[in-house]
A and B are shown apart, each in its own frame.
Chain A
Amino acid sequence: MEEVSTEEQIVTVLKEKFGGEILSIESPYNFLTVILRPEKIISIIKFLYDEEGYQYLTTLCGVHYPDQKSIVVMYQLHNLRQNKRLRLKIALPEDKPVVPTLTTVFPAANWMERETYDFFGVTFEGHPNLIRILNVEEMIIFPMRKEYPLEDQTREDKNDQMFGR
């Protein structure tokens, strides 16, 4: 008999197992979101994968919060058997965002982490091939960080005063 785990159950399990790691739990628009300390994130996801059936990585992305000087990495997992979704978030320091790679659990994380590195500069330790994926290799900035404006300010070939650049 498989036990149907509701949202509360998974929260209780997480609190029991990793109580010290949880910073807060919220549920915006009925989407369970757990904010965690970054240190044990991979072992928590591994636990969710092995024991709780969250075996599908929906997506992974970064969000930059310059006010808090942090880069948040968001992992979104899906338990396909019970159709439960779960979002995990960790906040990394802006100047040295380092987190272990998730490719050890999900091969799908490979390109998602490369994309996050490409745009936010998050270093995923142990990643097999952490290079830029969508931008050119010569790029020296991480363009999705908030301090970079939409147009590349270092370009000299565009001098279009009319449009306020």
Chain B
Amino acid sequence: MEQTTNTSALTDIPVQEEKQYSYLNLGPTHPATHGIFQNVLKMDGEIIVEATPTIGYIHRAFEKLAEHRPFYQITPITDRMNYCSSPINNMGWHMTVEKLLKIEIPKRVQYIRVIIMELSRISDHIICNTIIGQDVGATTGFLYLFQYRERIYEIFEEICGARLTTNIGRIGGMERNIPDKAWDKLDQWLIDFPVAFKEFSGLLERNRIFMDRTINCGSITAEKALSYSFSGPNLRAAGVDYDVRVMNPYSSYEEFDFIVPVGTQGDTYDRFMVRQQEMHESLKIIHQALEKLKKEPSDIYHADVPEYVLPPKEDVYNDMEALIYHFKNIMGETEIPKGEVYHAVEGGNGELGFYLISDGGRKPYRLHFRRPCFIFYQAYPEMIKGSMLSDAIITMSSMNVIAGELDS
């Protein structure tokens, strides 16, 4: 009897049923974010209720800087955007200026550029895919493939002398002809890489644990992806076959035979698989480009535009014309036409666009970078809402968010 009175007395007391959430700072310098950006997560246990991303930690004012630099000095700035595939950024910038100047680029240079761009696409995708493996706990694949990324950098080193921030090529072509050693290294890499890549694919692609972990994790529908202006592998994983190389071909991509892989779910597994397939396609393109190069004269490495291409050093000392052009180039005194031009390339993460307004001066009047990371990262809070913290981590790594590109 006593007990019942007790309980009735208890029910009279209003029970405070306020839900308690905890807040977690993911970043700015968390090893799993692979870059410096912060997410303030509102968590209910291990479920993410809300995410507030903060970016700008490595903002370096590239757009302002670019307004104060001659055109050729902007190439090193573009290096530092998506530093996992800086040659693509460099080439995109060169092609933007070439479009403004209406320079016709020789076929051989275009094919060389295609090879370099596809190599850097592979190195970009190697990073992204092995990191997905790393973040789900499969370190082996990471160790297998990173050696081959290293060897891609060695090829870049032979071509331009730098590894990560390459500053590769010049407006109007390449800075020098590709040395034989680079070709040898490329040939050897083309033999070795597919073997290791097959091993890596065997480790993860049909691995039940990996599939269970990544399928339906961080998925996004095609409509959502389009409304958030996704591009590149992330959009293709959602099922939209938008590839700048096919839609608006540049650098003779229209001559190459390759397919645009698409996914269906837009989840982490699809993004992983789209990148895997793209690496195969890139290898195909490199082989085709090497075939095409055989038919081209081997001594052409830039367009015939002395106003924009630095002459060889020995000519500068012995030839007056070359000395004049050297001086004009270095001082940025060459004539640049007035104009407004947009050029997009398919970067490692998607449509990398350069919107350039020139007022005829030695510097751009305005240069705007369309950075794919910056645009698709805003969908991230929506993609991870309701998922576990560990899913949020691999969603982020499968989106390949690069802090340099995010913050410009």
Contact = CB atoms under 8 A, between A and B. Distances in A.
Interface of A: 28-29, 31, 33, 55-59, 61, 63-64, 74, 76, 80, 83, 85, 87, 106-108, 110-112, 115, 119, 132-136, 143-144, 150
Contacts of A64: 366
A58 B227 CA distance: 10
Contact of A74 (B227, B247, B355, B375): B355
A83 B340 contact: no
A59 B355 contact: yes
A83 B59 contact: no
If over half of A's interface residues share one DSSP class (helix, strand or loop), that class is named, otherwise mixed; here it is: mixed
8 contacts: A59-B353, A59-B368, A74-B355, A80-B240, A106-B229, A111-B377, A133-B55, A134-B59
A28 B339 contact: yes
A107 B339 CA distance: 30
A60 B71 CA distance: 23
Interface string B64-76: 1100100000000
A89 to B, nearest CB: 10
B407 interface: yes
Given A61-B355, A111-B378, A143-B64, A55 B59 contact: no
A29 B228 contact: no
A58 B351 contact: yes
Nearest to B228: A108
Given A59-B370, A76-B355, A80-B242, A108 B229 contact: yes
B229 A29 contact: no
Contacts of B228: 107-108
B368 A61 contact: yes
- Which of B344, B407, B408 counts the most chain A CB atoms within 10 A? B344
Contacts of A112: 375
B353 A106 contact: no
B61 A29 contact: no
Interface of B: 55-56, 59, 61, 63-65, 68, 99-100, 226-229, 240, 242, 247-248, 339-342, 344, 351, 353, 355, 357, 365-366, 368, 370, 374-375, 377-379, 407-408
Contact of A31 (B342, B368, B407): B342
B378 A76 contact: no
Nearest to B59: A134
Closest 3 CB pairs of A and B: A108-B229, A134-B56, A59-B370
Nearest to A118: B56
A58 B353 contact: yes
Contacts, number: 84
Given A28-B339, A28-B341, A29-B340, A119 B63 contact: yes
Contacts of A106: 227, 229
Contacts of A111: 374-375, 377-378
A29 B63 contact: no
B366 A83 contact: no
Nearest to B246: A83
Contacts of B355: 59, 61, 74, 76
Nearest to B248: A83
B340 A110 contact: no
A148 B131 CA distance: 41
- Which of B65, B353, B366 counts the most chain A CB atoms within 10 A? B366
A63 B357 contact: yes
- Which of A29, A33, A87, A150 counts the most chain B CB atoms within 10 A? A29
A133 B370 contact: no
Contacts of B59: 134-135
A106 B230 CA distance: 12
Nearest to A129: B52
Contact of B342 (A56, A57, A76, A115): A76
A35 B247 CA distance: 25
B226 A134 contact: no
Contacts of A33: 340
Contact of B366 (A31, A63, A136, A150): A63
A46 to B, nearest CB: 13
A87 B344 CA distance: 14
Contacts of B226: 55-56, 80
Contact of B370 (A58, A107, A136): A58
- Which of B248, B375, B407 counts the most chain A CB atoms within 10 A? B375
A53 B126 CA distance: 35
A56 B240 CA distance: 12
A132 B55 CA distance: 10
Given A58-B229, A74-B368, A106-B229, 6 more contacts: A28-B341, A29-B99, A55-B227, A56-B229, A108-B227, A143-B64
A134 B407 contact: yes
A31 B341 contact: yes
B268 to A, nearest CB: 21
A144 B64 contact: yes
A132 B375 CA distance: 16
Contacts of A28: 339-341
Contacts of B99: 29
A134 B341 contact: no
A134 B55 contact: yes
A107 B357 CA distance: 27
Contacts of B229: 56-58, 106, 108
Nearest to A150: B68
